[in-house]
Each structure stands twice: as C-alpha cells, then as structure tokens.
Amino acid sequence: MTVKRFGVSIEEEALNKLDTFVHDNQFPNRSQAIRFLIENSYIGQKWQCNNEVAGAIVLLYDHHKHDLSNKAGDIQHEYHHLVISTQHIHLSHDLCLETIAVKGKAKDLTNLADQLISLKGVRHGKLVMSRT
C-alpha cells in the first residue's frame, strides 16, 4: 500500500475536535485517526448498500438464564450460512462471553445480531462489521 501525503484546511474548532478524538482514542497521530474515520464511514456506506462484510457479534450473558444457550444456538443454526465460528468463554460462575465470527450481507448480519442481542438474559451485545 502506498502512502500519499496531502494538505488539509480545517477550521480550528474542527481541528480541536480531531485532536480530542486522537487523544481519547490513543491514536499515535492525526493521520491514523483520519484513516480510522474514513474506514468507519466507508463501512457504514457498505452496510447501507447491503454489501458483503465480515464481522463479529459479541454477547455477554447470564449463564443461568433458562434456555438462553439453546435459543442462541437455534438462532445461529437458522443463519448457519453466515456463522463462521463461535468462541465461548466462562468469565465467572454467572457470566459468559460469546464471540461469533460472521460473514455475509450486512443486513443479514444485522438481523442475526438483533435476534441474538434481544434474547432475555443477554446483558450486552454488539455487532462489529468490516469490509471484505
């Protein structure tokens, strides 16, 4: 990959916001932050266009919630063509963390994630997508 340099004119207020973003997210410099923002914008456009993406669904849930594991497994089987792999981690006696690697159309991945995240007993869930 070739790196190109270019100049940017930006209002001071916007530059201050960029510098705060760089600091808060611990980027080494403004260039890294700008690359990150461009990539995130591009991913958002791909999602809106329903392009092919890859990603992960992360679920934090109560292990003791009745039938949650079975329900989550059933949903994943319905979307078997999107699920690449799963990793199940026992964080404590009560909490489990599950990471589900996925690949497919953005809207299909969103539908899968929404169904899993909405299960009773899921404390936190998030879908992260990236272009392929």
- DSSP code per residue over 48-100: HTT-EEEEEEEEEEETTSTTHHHHHHHHHHHTTTTEEEEEEEE-SSSEEEEEE
pLDDT at 2: 82
DSSP type of residue 95 = E
Q: What stretches in the chain show pLDDT beneath 70?
A: 1, 43-49
pLDDT at 48: 66
pLDDT at 120: 87
pLDDT at 44: 63
pLDDT at 112: 95
Contacts by 4-11 with C-beta closer than 8 Å and gap 24+? Answer: none
Provide the whole-model pTM. 0.68
pLDDT at 85: 96
Are 61 and 68 contacting, i.e. CB atoms less than 8 angstroms apart? Answer: yes
pLDDT at 82: 97
Structure tokens at 65: 């919630």
pLDDT at 131: 77
pLDDT at 46: 57
Among the listed residues 101, 93, 98, the one whose alpha carbon sits nearest the alpha carbon of residue 123: 98
